[in-house]
Amino acid sequence: MSDCIFCKIVNREIDTELIYEDSKIIAFNDISPVAPVHILVIPKEHFPTIEDAKDSDILSHLFSKVVEIAKMKNLEDYRLIINKGEKAGQTVFHLHIHIIGKRDLKWPPG
């Protein structure tokens, strides 16, 4: 996808420091972090949303690497977020998992 910002990161058209890379995925820091640790883990292949990837092996690979990356970053506790669709807050339509850590998470409320 030529106009996809995350495909540009995958293709090294935008210079981004990678935290992890293998043949199927990359991980890098979010450009506007909401917590001291805010990493995005994405497939190299362009899937606009998680729905588009539901039948692909990529999901299990992404999740097992997410756990490894969190360990690598010494995160004991962390939150994972996938936004699906505009109304849920998805702004970049290239599947990504947010790893959010080292922040006091007010959840569940109350």
Out of 28, 42, 66, 70, the residue judged to bind ligand 5GP by CB under 6 A: 28
61 is catalytic: no
Q: Is 92 in the site for Zn ion (CB under 5 A)?
A: no
As a whole number of angstroms, the distance between CA 10 and CA 33 comes to 20
The C-alpha angle 26, 28, 33, rounded to 5 degrees, equals: 145
Out of 5, 53, 59, 80, the residue judged to bind ligand 5GP by CB under 6 A: 5
Task: List the structure tokens of 62.
Answer: 């992404």
30 binds, among Zn ion, ligand 5GP, none (CB under 5 to 8 A by kind): ligand 5GP
As a whole number of angstroms, the distance between CA 49 and CA 69 comes to 22
**Which residues does the annotation mark as catalytic?**
96
